[in-house]
Amino acid sequence: MNVRQITNDSDLTELVAGEVAEFSGVAYTARDAAHKRFVEAADAGRPLPIDIAGAAIYYAGPTPARKGEIIGSCGPTTSARMDDYAPRLLDMGLKIMIGKGKRSPAVIDAIKRNKAVYLIAVGGAAALIKSRITECEEIAYPDLGCEAVRRIVFDRLPLLVAIDTAGNNILK
């Protein structure tokens, strides 16, 4: 099986829905509470705590790391929880979203409009995903606990291209 290698700098237009991929590079963990704050900051003209242009967001709220570990359990959360905020972030330059489950028509339209992609991780595979994280640093919203925004670095995280830049969608 041919596995497509993806980094933050990849030409995402080459990805095809249904294709198996591995992501290596920087991603930010963020769930719905952080997304709400991102959009509120943008609406108020304040900078976001991350550079959203070209960024990858992994929809996860990792548990605390045990002693000697980089990160705790780090499985994907349901992506639809971010659908109210994702179009705005995509219009601001977000390029890669990683999560699980279906997306709304508004998100799919924003993916197409901005030549972004939605990749899905296997739910229930938190141990595998954790093993592919080589760095983790909390960078924003520590009051959110597990849902604080973290900068993580993946090394060959196995994923599936769910929605490509043309809006082709395997989750209909």
> Residue 48 and residue 35: Cα distance in Å, rounded?
10
Residue 62 CB burial class (10 angstroms; 0-12, 13-18, ≥19)? buried
In a domain, 172, yes or no: no
Instruction: Look up the pTM and report it.
Output: 0.96
Cα–chain center distance at 152: 11
Q: Which domain holds residue 80?
A: 4-163
pLDDT at residue 122, as a whole number = 86
Per-residue pLDDT band at 125 (split at 50, 70, 90): confident
Which H or E element spans position 133?
strand 133-140
User: Structural domain tally of the chain?
Assistant: 1
In a domain, 141, yes or no: yes
**pLDDT tens, position by position, 63-119:** 999 999 999 999 999 999 999 999 999 999 999 999 999 999 999 999 999 999 999
CATH number of the domain residue 142 falls in? 3.20.130.10
Positive or negative torsion for Cα 50, 34, 69, 78: negative
In a domain, 155, yes or no: yes
